[in-house]
Structure 1
Amino acid sequence: MMISAPVPNASFHPSRFILLGIPGMRDQHIWAAIPFCSMYILALAGNSAILYVITRARTLHEPIYLFLCLLSITDILLCSTTSPKMLTIFWLKSHVISYRGCLTQMFFVHTIFATESAVLLAMAFDRYVAICRPLRYTSILSAAAIGKIGLACVIRGFLFVFPFVILIERLPFCGRHIIPHTYCEHMGIAKLACASIKPNTIYGLTVALSVTGMDVVLIATSYCLILRAVLRLPSKDAQLRAFSTCGAHMCVILVFYVPAFFSFFTHRFGHQVPPHIHIVLANLYLLLPPVLNPLVYGINTKQIRLRIVDFLPHRQRGKVRAESSAFSRTSYLWTRGCCFTKSSKPAPCII
């Protein structure tokens, strides 16, 4: 039962917490770790490959690829904030985490998630400008503008998440130090307090709806405008290719946001949801997008795909290059962010 009366803070900050793992599945932790570990390795390999290819190829130093670099960095950090500790819980039975370590993990999990959400919004804006305002693309998204957008993504995450740390620090903990989770997150820690957590709940809900929720609305608006532009393409083949690419992008965006919002709202309102379902989904929204993003945003892009081909054995390299060269000129120019019709008039396009 929650107690509203103030309790001296100095005596009630625990030295450590215990992360329980997945409630109700402790006997299956060893086996549950295998898919999570596999996804973590795939996320590291895929995003590292994207970063290496883009940084090494000067021809890829363009706005969309620089945003893709930032997305890969946030993907690596996002899954690395939780996966190593989760795997030590599953395989080494290392359930203990220090109080400061728990707050640090909580801060980085939420900050990086907010940053990645902002990066996805920036990429949607990049595609909107490339397709709907192609003649102004280079003037709107200059190198300076990209740097400012990237910095704003990081600063925004920091500013909105840092109050979580302050809100947790003000809470007293009177003996309950077991967190039924695989990592530390805001409401999971707050629920252990023996004082009112109403400010934590209100602020968390405000951030989720006003920041992340607004990102979702703006991303959806961008893709609606993109689809409207795609429908004006004269070629049915071009429309199908664009719809296919838009569909893949939207699937990845849904995989990122739907489990995150489900996890967020079940903490506050979904008391009937089984704990193991909540914990599994809370891990998936940190692991699945980093696995899928390199495939959908990276390897699906012709220039990056051809650079990756350079690392293949000589025989396979020739075969893949031959298949890639079969793409039409229009398809090639889509991946550059801008395509032209026979009349040389800029037309909508998409990677």
Structure 2
Amino acid sequence: MRRRLVTGAAALLAGLLAIAGCVAPADDTRSAGGNGAGETATAEPPAVVDACPDPVEGFAVTVDADGQALHLEEPAPAPGGDGVDPREIVGPSTAIVDQEVVPIESTVEPTLPVTVESCDGETVVVDDASRILAVDLYGTLAEIVFSLGLGDRVVGRDASTGFPQAAELPLVTPGGHDLNAEAVLGLNPSVVLTDASVGPPEVQQQLRDAGIPVIFFDDARDLDRIPGQIRAVAGTLGVPDAGEDLLDRTEGEVAAAVALAPSGDDPLRIAFLYTRGGMVQLLAGPGSGADAMIRAIGAVDVGTDIGLDRPFTQITSEALIEAAPDVIIMMTKGLDSIGGVDGMLRLPGVAQTPAGEKLRVVDMADSVLLSFGPRSGRTIEALARAVYRP
């Protein structure tokens, strides 16, 4: 069964992750070659890549029956140090992660053509990876392309692709997370990598109608989907061996970062709040991506713990007071949009929580916190240190 991407993610206030369903693949096959002028005939059938593979359960993280991360029997010293109770820490902190994307050393020339089963049910043939455009809500796809050593082939970027190597690329989402068809067509991409977290879908269809191969990838974000995402992108671009090298490096970094978190019977309770000014004020829950990051640093995601059944739910005083988070995590721009820590205390219920009483908010750059890509190990490490030893 194939996944059908839900196309309303961008409309959900540009901050929510779409949820995938299942459909059978369509029979339509689209050819890539510059802007669709190439032929697909080959002596051998091209390799087939699944852009929506199943997640790898427990990737780099072993969890117990309650879903909490298990650490090494002899864990590394906790980021808080011996004798430091993270519940007694007072004041805000920022999780700082090196945003540079480090390409692997073993990149090779792409071997094409490749047939890709896109997540929207289309079958797409890629035979030109010379001009790549990779766009999604959190910049994950572009991060993978650059990490594979193919950054010099990328011709544009979305607003979330914030790492330094991509800073000078033309922006194709001038309205935030909405693709501009004219901007994309002006870059003459040979292949577009995307998902349902950006849109509108009419633009992606317009690109296909113009002869550009457009591949949809899984837009769900959690640790278990990192292996499939890396392999799918690498396979689509004809560099599967480079994908395995990148995956090996990423898994090692994630495992090392997870081992930093302290183990114990009384884990911290952490809430992730997504805000954009006074209009968007949401508490994260299961499937938000934030829940996976919180588990990775050995803590409890309070949204999941109190029984939320959606990735993001409007904040209410009752829910947040019941959740009783010890720490609140926010995106840096989201925290800034409400006036910093003072604004956070005005959110419903925050001032009545342990986190609010001690001003315990940890902010992190929007472009890395929920990316779930090759930099996730560094992200988890930075988040753990900011939570346990600000």
Higher strand share: 2
TM-score, normalising length: structure 2: 0.25
Quick one: higher RCO (CA 8 Å, sep 6+), 1 or 2? 1
Higher helix share: 1
- Please say which structure displays the higher CA radius of gyration: 1
TM-score, normalising length: structure 1: 0.27
